[in-house]
Amino acid sequence: MAQSDTVDRILDAAEELFADRGFSETSLRMITSKAKVNLAAVNYHFGSKNALIHAVFARFLTPFSATLESAFDELEERCEGKPPTLNQTLWALTESAVRMPQRNEQGISIFMRLLGLAYTQSQGHLRKFLEQEYSEPFGRFMRLLKEATPQLSSVDRYWRIQFMLGATAFTMSSSDALRDILKNKLGVETTVQEIAARLVPFLAAGMQAEDAMLIPSPGSKVSVA
Amino acid sequence: MAQSDTVDRILDAAEELFADRGFSETSLRMITSKAKVNLAAVNYHFGSKNALIHAVFARFLTPFSATLESAFDELEERCEGKPPTLNQTLWALTESAVRMPQRNEQGISIFMRLLGLAYTQSQGHLRKFLEQEYSEPFGRFMRLLKEATPQLSSVDRYWRIQFMLGATAFTMSSSDALRDILKNKLGVETTVQEIAARLVPFLAAGMQAEDAMLIPSPGSKVSVA
DNA sequence: GTCTGTTTGAAACATACGTTTGAAGCGCAG
DNA sequence: CTGCGCTTCAAACGTATGTTTCAAACAGAC
């Protein structure tokens, strides 16, 4: 258990610290001291800090994309040729995330926060890595979204997908902080599953909104029921 | 124009670089070389890097919060005691942002991205600064949202506000890149105002969604019409 | 036991960072 | 012209970072 132990301890520590503080704000010395391994172990086993970041993502993203593929397979089979609905597609994604085998109880939380950071922090190498490693499930999700919203123009759909992405990535990337605020303010505890359960209806409703499409001109008083 | 020139050049450069790369990823040397001023000028005029970050926010947030206050005043006066609707409240915010006097044409874009970063990056000092400097307009907006959505529980409303924030900050922060993609893919040009015009209906619909609130349990097959 | 390839360890490396220093430059009142 | 704030400048400071080095420790095969 010599190598695997060190490698896993580094990955565990890095995952948690990255999720807590972001990538640039986490040093290798923090990681190695939390993992109780030698500083040089990171560069020995992974090659560089960036490669470690990639490894952290790959460790949960690879099994997740497999889970997601089979969830989409099952969904499409169940629909027998008809395109899955928007809600079904969104739930397939959410359930795949929630059902993933967890290393610990806050696995999803960390997972989501890392995904949010991947979009939010400007780490060019990370985005490139994710795009070329996981383009397939991502593209498939986009295809399903398109088939589920035939009433939308390409342009509307494009922007609304961005809105969904933003709401999700942003919320998840700060979900711990938000949960804390909520706990202090209203005394309510919240799980990631509950956040997801609130997020999906929000996204679906926004995605299918009647398009008011009123461009406000200066001086006009806009009021939409 | 000796001092003000240097100060403004630093603020301009810092604003743009922060929006592009985040706070930790932007060094004072990048800022000062872009601004064509001496490295020590930052610490001379602002005191520290953190204080510079605060100044960047204060420069646009102070006039914006004034604009917003008067927009809310006008709105509430127009409603004569009845609480403004959700759409009215959202449009008041959007119009205030769009109508702000801009330093350059992508002013709003940068503005939004910085706000997103303020939430996303774990910069404790920044959050503290914003909370104690701009609690008033923020609290007022929250109050209006609450009055416009009396059907929502506090917890639901809290999360949906986060979703709105995320969709907005994320989209606006990368709206330049997104506009480019859209132009190349579909050959369509888009203005920030049009994005806002698409965003507001999306947000309003999500905010007022029927709450399906189904927490998926393992093994269950969830499908919502 | 000895050899071999792999993994760990302590230390140093080069570089980049935010900040500080002290001298030089500048504009302007006296 | 002189003297006095304010501002700029080049240089250095101390610290922290990612990475490299090379010897020591280790495990398994023969």
> Which of B170, B171, B189, B211 is best to mutate for the A interface (most A CBs within 10 A)?
B170
Residues 52-81 of A with CB under 7 A from strand D: none
Query: What is the reported pLDDT for B68?
Result: 94
Q: Is the CB of A6 under 7 A from strand C?
A: yes
Question: Is 0.75 topped by the overall pTM?
Answer: yes
Query: What is the reported pLDDT for A25?
Result: 92
Subunit contact B215:A223, Cβ cutoff 8 A: no
Please, what is the angle between helix A154-173 and helix B175-186, to 10°?
Answer: 150
CB B68 within 8 A of CB B137: yes
> Which of B75, B120, B152 is best to mutate for the A interface (most A CBs within 10 A)?
B120
Nearest residue to C19 via alpha carbon and C1': B43
Please, what is the angle between helix B175-186 and helix B107-120, to 10°?
Answer: 120
If pLDDT is split at 50, 70 and 90, which confidence band does B219 have?
very low
Residue with tokens 């704000």: A25
Is some CB atom of chain B closer than 8 A to the CB atom of A217? no
CA A140 to chain CA centroid, Å, is: 16
How buried is B187 (Cβ within 10 angstroms: 0-12 exposed, 13-18 middle, 19+ buried)? exposed
pLDDT in tens, B81-138: 899 999 999 999 988 988 887 776 677 778 878 887 887 776 789 888 998 999 999 9
In chain A, which residues have pLDDT < 70? 1-4, 104-106, 122, 175-177, 212-225
CB A71 within 8 A of CB A84: no
Specify the nucleotide whose C1' lies closest to residue B10 (CA): D8
Specify the nucleotide whose C1' lies closest to residue A41 (CA): C8
Cα→Cα distances A224→B61, B74, B85, B143, B147, Å: 28, 17, 8, 20, 16
> Which of A117, A163, A176 is best to mutate for the B interface (most B CBs within 10 A)?
A163
DSSP 8-state code for residue A208: T
Query: What is the reported pLDDT for B195?
Result: 85
CB < 8 Å to B205, chain A: 205-206, 208-210
Q: Is the CB of A41 under 7 A from strand C?
A: yes
What's the token pair of residue B49?
Answer: 């890097």
Query: What is the reported pLDDT for B177?
Result: 64
Distance from CA of A3 to the nearest CA of B (A): 33
Query: What is the reported pLDDT for A220?
Result: 43
Q: Which residue of A has its CA nearest to B223?
A: A88
Q: Is the CB of A43 under 7 A from strand D?
A: yes
Residues 5-44 of B with CB under 7 A from strand C: 26-30, 39-40, 42-43
Dist CA B77 CA A71 (whole Å): 52
Q: Which residues contact B206 (CB under 8 A, 6 or more apart)?
A: A167, A202, A203, A205, A206, A209, B160, B163, B164, B167
What's the token pair of residue B213?
Answer: 């609130």
Please, what is the angle between helix A124-133 and helix A49-79, to 10°?
Answer: 40
Provide the mean pLDDT of chain B: 85
Query: What is the reported pLDDT for B178?
Result: 64
Is some CB atom of chain A closer than 8 A to the CB atom of B224? yes
Dist CA A149 CA B202 (whole Å): 14
Query: What is the reported pLDDT for A191?
Result: 78
Query: What is the reported pLDDT for A70?
Result: 95
Is some CB atom of chain B closer than 8 A to the CB atom of A22? yes
Average of pLDDT values for B61-90? Answer: 94
